[in-house]
Structure 1
Amino acid sequence: METKEVRMIPPKFQIPKPYQRVGIYCRVSTVTQEQLHSMSNQVSFYVQMLNNRNDWRLVDAYLDFKSGKDIDHRLEFMRMIKDAKNKKLDIILTKSISRFGRDALDTIQTLRELKENDVTVIFDQEQINTSKEDSELIASIIAGIAEAENKNRRDNQNWAINKRLKDGTSKIYSRPCYGYKKSASGELTIYDEQAKIVQNIFEMYLSGMSILGIVAELEKQGIKSPTGKDKWCKRTIDTMLSNEKYIGNALVFKTYTTYTPKPKRVQNNDHSHEQIQLNDAHMPIISKKMFDAVQEEKSRRSNIITDENGTRRKDTRYKSKQ
């Protein structure tokens, strides 16, 4: 019988790391005094924890003041992930899964990426250490619960907002725009100096002047834009000419938020989502007759038409006076 050779392969000797490199991740949703205090407490807690361990060294603290729903817009979070992939971190300390991220899928995918780069995440509140075998299952369950709770909380907030909108008590109706200011009681009142400029803009447009022509005229007269700049934006004039607040009404839900796959603000131009309008909410600057005339003129000048063949451009565009 032939004897087979057996060769022993000794383990490769590795010099143990003298310490592990640690990053702290903290996030709060707003910059209120209470939230800033919470952020300070979180950082202080983890720094103290690191001071009590000889095998850990602090590399950096990553602090986000942003909602946790969308990872891409949390700049410090993204910087931390980049550092982890560049082998600058061994451990990430954070308060909880909900602070790390509210989207369950994003959270699990990020944890997998970090694990592939030999980075451990320790969630203090849930007592989860991702270096352990069952950590991903536990983290996915908790992240799913956190996401569901967040959706439920958002739904409740939206219900309360809609209720106040429908009974006419919402403060959203009294948000000022150019031509208005808030009174001491919180109501919209006419800002005379700006209101005259609004009236002139409507009159110039009805006289045949183009939006670019209006922009040039305002800048020629040295009139500052709503943001206090010397230059006016074409879109600003276009929006003003369609703003129903100038006839005393207040319309909400001109935009809405979609959450798939990421949160995004979308214009509600096709009225696919419910809108609520409060009529006679405040004193008008423009008469309804003039406002309607401007809307008709805007439609006439538009080079977009909709018919049985769909939406398309006109063969020729309206040319206005300058």
Structure 2
Amino acid sequence: MQYNPTIHFIPPKPPKRERRVGIYCRVSSNSSEQLKSLSAQVSALTRLTAAAPQWLLVDVYMDIASSKTGSSRKEFARMIEDCHSHNLEIIFTKSISRFGRDTVDTLEALNQLKTLGVRVIFEQEDLDTANIDSELMISIIEAIAQAENESRSDNIKWGIKQRAAQGTSKLYNRKCYGYYNDEDGNLAIDEKEAKNVRMIFSLYIQGKSVLGIVKELERLGIKSPTGKATWPKRTIDVILSNEKYMGNVRLLDNGKHSACYLAEDNNPAIISKETFQAVQIEKQHRSNVIKGEEGNQRKSRKYSSKK
């Protein structure tokens, strides 16, 4: 007996997508560069989710917010609520730094999600909370956070140094007593306060001590830079040492043996360079610290006002 079988094509059954996945992405501002980063995060994580046969993408959560601790993350909160409702089993995110704002914030969220039985996978660090015990996870997060903070600090310091070297730092035009910033942000002389600055330098050269200058200012009823009737001695010391009053600004000066940047004729001068230098020489003369063969030593008697 001859058979004529009918051939049917039976396609393979697609694997059951039984793991409900949520993607979380965050950027710290709505600048065009940050929005491009957000789009790239979503695109990359969506492709990776689709490539996992057992995963079903349920939702994408996107926060565009400040990285400050107190800032609102509505999408993050919505994602946590979905975890409480058992709508999510896995959270897929780019990195630890994108998931949490700081170490404490990250650990609190992970502990909460662990209690709910939700896995968190960090794509960049190749970490999965399902495969790592709590203590190790804490150590890893703290180590990464410390490295990121150090890197961020180095970047900030580098940026400050570059702006100082290029003359673009706003610190060059940071106002102090005797000055104000004009509409262009440049330093301009406040004549009312500048008159007091000139008097302070003049009194010092005439022989007045710092305490004597304080008493004279208070006798004349001149308010301090903070608007108070009393003048701290420290304020007078700072004024007498500030090169800005002769038109110069020195940045990143951390002591005699450190490199720094000096902007000469940066701003209009309140006193002459000669007056400023004369005060510095007088300050050194009055100092109760003298240099000797055995190092710095204090004089047996401090300077007192001549008048």
Whole-angstrom CA distance in 2 between matches of 1:145 and 1:313: 48
Q: Is the 8 A contact 2:175 2:187 kept in 1?
A: yes
Q: 1:142 to 1:48 in 2, by over 3 A?
A: closer
Matched residue, 1:253: 252
TM (normalized to structure 2)?
0.62
Q: Is 1:312 aligned with 2:305?
A: no
Letter in 2 for 1:215: V
Letter in 2 for 1:287: S
One of 286, 297, 303 as aligned partner of 2:271: 286
CA deviation after TM superposition for structure 1 residue 274, in Å: 2.2
Q: Is the 8 A contact 1:199 1:285 kept in 2?
A: yes
Whole-angstrom CA distance in 2 between matches of 1:184 and 1:125: 51
Matched residue, 1:39: 70
CA deviation after TM superposition for structure 1 residue 133, in Å: 7.4
CA deviation after TM superposition for structure 1 residue 37, in Å: 9.0
TM (normalized to structure 1)?
0.59
Q: Which runs of 5+ in 2 are unaligned?
A: 1-27, 29-64, 86-97, 115-119
Matched residue, 1:3: none
Letter in 2 for 1:217: E
Matched residue, 1:198: 197
Q: 1:178 to 1:43 in 2, by over 3 A?
A: same
Q: Is 1:300 aligned with 2:299?
A: no
CA deviation after TM superposition for structure 1 residue 168, in Å: 1.3
Q: How big is each residue's C-alpha offset from its partner over 1:117-139, in whole Å with a ceiling of 9 and x where there is no partner? A: xxx6769886x999x97122122
Matched residue, 1:99: 102
Whole-angstrom CA distance in 2 between matches of 1:122 and 1:244: 57
CA deviation after TM superposition for structure 1 residue 43, in Å: 7.9
**Identity %, equivalent residues:** 44
CA deviation after TM superposition for structure 1 residue 272, in Å: 3.6
Aligned residue pairs total 225
Whole-angstrom CA distance in 2 between matches of 1:38 and 1:299: 47
SS of structure 1 residue aligned to 2:188: strand
CA deviation after TM superposition for structure 1 residue 191, in Å: 0.8
Matched residue, 2:215: 216
Q: 1:296 to 1:149 in 2, by over 3 A?
A: same
CA deviation after TM superposition for structure 1 residue 173, in Å: 0.3
Q: Is the 8 A contact 1:305 1:314 kept in 2?
A: yes
Q: Which runs of 5+ in 1 are unaligned?
A: 1-27, 29-33, 55-94, 115-119, 255-267
Whole-angstrom CA distance in 1 between matches of 2:279 and 2:300: 23
Q: Is the 8 A contact 2:179 2:188 kept in 1?
A: yes
Whole-angstrom CA distance in 1 between matches of 2:113 and 2:165: 46
SS of structure 2 residue aligned to 1:305: strand
CA deviation after TM superposition for structure 1 residue 158, in Å: 2.1
Q: Is 1:274 aligned with 2:259?
A: yes
Q: 1:53 to 1:159 in 2, by over 3 A?
A: closer
Q: How big is each residue's C-alpha offset from its partner over 1:84-128, in whole Å with a ceiling of 9 and x where there is no partner? A: xxxxxxxxxxx95651359xxxx9xxx8xx9xxxxx6769886x9
CA deviation after TM superposition for structure 1 residue 247, in Å: 0.6
Whole-angstrom CA distance in 1 between matches of 2:261 and 2:193: 27
Larger Rg computed on CA atoms: 2
Q: 1:37 to 1:165 in 2, by over 3 A?
A: closer
